[in-house]
Structure 1
Amino acid sequence: MSNSIKLRGLLVLFCLVLSVLALGPTLMKDSLPNWWKNAFDPIHLGLDLQGGMHLVLGVEVDKAVESRLDSVVDQTESLLRDEDVIFKRIERKSDDRMVITVYDADAGAEVDALIQENFPNLEPMTLDASGGYIEKNYRFSDQEIANIKDYAVRQALETMRNRVDQFGLSEPVLQRQSDNRILIQLPGVKDPQRAIDLLGKTARLEFKMVDESADIQQALQGNLKPGTKVLYEHRVDPMTKKATENPLVVFEKTALTGDLLADAQVRIDTRFNEPYVAIEFNAVGAQRFDQITAANVGKRMAIVLDDTIYSAPNIRERISGGSAQISGSFTEQEATDLAIVLRAGSLPAPVKILEDRTVGPSLGHDSISKGVNSVVIGAVLVVLMMLLYYRGAGLVANVALALNLLFIMAMLTLFKATLTLPGLAGIVLTVGMAVDANVLIFERVREELRHGKSARVAIDAGFAKAFVTIVDANITTLIAALVLFQFGTGPVKGFAVTLSVGIIASMFTAIFVSRLIFDLVLEGRQVKKLSI
């Protein structure tokens, strides 16, 4: 046996062994040793094959503009005080205007200069004067508003991806769509409501000081001091597990936000054996937290998440180091989910669920059954046709077809690709295409045999003459499949993945494996007639 045949045989054997090892966790995951299961992942099934959730979320980008303007209002107020600019009030109007009321034109000029220097994206509007005061109106430019909205969607998508990754799901799909929408597909979700709660939570964490002097009854009747509002503290009785809502008056101005968090982890309170969320601030947040607690010793600070107070402890002493905790009679799952959304970051704008569909596992199993049946039926028909038409050579093509299917499934595992229902359609198409190259080769071989050439010469000439045609046809199809993968979404990508992998596997088996089998049969033998 020649060295060439030995080397090619070893290569095919290596690919065969690697494929069997890669598919082991998919076919026999319960009976394999741990090292095998850790080395190779099973084939990931898409939403349509294993069930799960299909969500379309809409990002309320107008809220992002309001939030950004609120931040600018807070910063501007601090700048005005730092620069000793005298003003009556500063506020955000409902039509996304920032209005600064000053006493005279000189103060107005100072305000204009300050805004132009620090917020160049704010445009001055028509000057209003009422009651002897001057109102300076500003709004974001149209380009800045567009940028804020675009950033809100992109940031929401990234935050969702971080939350899903920490949720522990395999092969989720998150894609941006038109009209500020985000498509999310979560295969294998066992608790749909928990996923919805986790993804839909804005998770805006704020630290606000409690107004100890406020009269709660007056506040509930709407008699609030300027700059304060009523929020409700969520409490759960540890014995009865009954939840209550207690009103508290807090200052509207946020002392510290969750944007400065570095980490959030679940811990267990050994005194009450209850979980809580331990949070750590980054360097800037730790410094700010240190300053706030030092200036407010003896006062209460409310820890607010999405306008709900989880706790409002007394600040007994200055807290350095940037550590705090959020407690609220959580269950372990509630504490875990809260830590996830805090680590992933808050959404820049609220989201609303526009579409919510759940694909049941039974529907997925039915799809798998029908898909596998279509592959089997297609393969059997191709096998029979090749045997009847090409006889012995048809058997070679069928061996190559079997290896082709094995290599396709193994590559899906090795590349960590997701198998979807359209992906199964791509495999069915590949089964039909897999023998196409063998048909071209066999017809060339027949031509050479009709010209009176020997079996070995006919095989050499058949493979050589068909090679360019096979490569050209498959490469052009592969390019089309890669374009579909790059620009397609959802089902189109699933089809493109299996088609691309199938083309690579079929070229290898048709050109390389089939030739190896013929060489093994003809090696050292005087074959006068081919069964083809």
Structure 2
Amino acid sequence: MQSKGKLGSFVAGVIAIFLVLICLFYISFTLVTNHHEDKAEAYATSVAGNAGVNSDSYRMAYKSYIDSISREKVYLGYTFAEVQKLGVGLGLDLKGGMNVTLQVSVPDILRSMANADGNPYFEAAIAQTDSVVKATRSNDYVSIFCQQYRKLDPQGDLSVVFKDQVKRGDSYEAAEAALKQEVKDRVSSSTNVLRNRIDQFGVVAPNIQELEKDGQILLELPGVKEHDRVKELLKSSANLEFYETIPVNEFQGSLMELTAMGRADSTGNGRGLLDYFVHTANPYNPIMVGTAVAANRAAIDSIISSPAARRLLPSNVKLAWEVKPETMEATDTATGVTRRVDLYTLVALKTANGRPALSGDVVTSASSEFDQMQGGNYVSMNMKPDAARQWARITAANIEKQVAIVLDGQVYSAPRVNNVIEGGRSSITGNFTTDEAKDLANVLKSGKMAAKVDIISDTVIGPSLG
């Protein structure tokens, strides 16, 4: 019995040591993450200077530093992005930040989907649904809406009210399921827009999730200090726009002059605009100004928004970044070291008196599809009748040219126009993965969503709580 007891103690001790080693292993990733985040803070502080840690320059410099090392191997063969994921995450209780619950207006979503002009029942059903939801605290707005609409108009056909979402002849049950799915998709679209905005703001490891109640989204934002600014960022509506594009060779001289001016500036570092790019002038992408690593984006943005740029660049040119970087091999000219980096592309958009060719609220529906014949993913998009006529004129004027889809100032896609598109139905191709096609469809749908976003609760948490 004594030997069994000793064996049990030995096994328990080995297990305890094993668990301690596992804990230390994962804690080491946290320490490495903290080390590099401290370096990012020091870099951002030096870049921001007197502007301080709450400035745009600090935020962009911090994000640029983190982005620049995200694919570098920094510990035991792991990249920094992998190290961040493997470490013990510091939540709100340890790092401080914000906990925010948002409510996307489901009534506004239904209104944006509906063809209810002259329909006496639609708004009445919305009003009755609001009353029932408030009284019962129900999580299922769409089901209650369908019930209330059916009470008001028992013989009504929801496919007439929601012609882009409900098939003609569908039962009330099928119509309700279709509306629920569409509302869910549009809330997911809002979630994706918020995720991208938060990422651009520089929040590290945010937690974003859709809650059970229709239209509610929970956000946990560790480390956030600019609370009022974040709240305004979250409440602002998505801004979807369609732009014509312009080949860079049409204003290459202006870019060269702007670059020369920067090199000659005695107060600068001897670098002009084009010096910050890794690649420039791509004949296969004529609207590409250049590609740059994340760390150089702040400097480029500062140049292209300067008075000199406004004076030298054509008034109908607007420069914007593509939202997703392309990962490729790049060689540092100073060290000769080649490594994989994320390169962001700056493209040239064409404006009409500073405005886009078409605003995004004209999109009635969008979905990701798969072409069985071609074996690829594409995005199908429908527009309102008036917009369809404008779209036909725009596409007719841009055959073999690109038209850019821009959300919140960032280019999500710039497909080439192959022929005149009439009737408002377009197919957008581009060697999409399934997820990329879904994301683009969500972008298009988020642009038409007229739903407001309300902050129903927000809590600022200090790190001292942990």
TM bucket, shorter chain: 0.3 to 0.5
With the length of structure 2 as denominator, give the TM-score of the two structures. Answer: 0.37
Which structure would you say has the larger Rg?
1
| Bigger proportion of residues as helix | 1
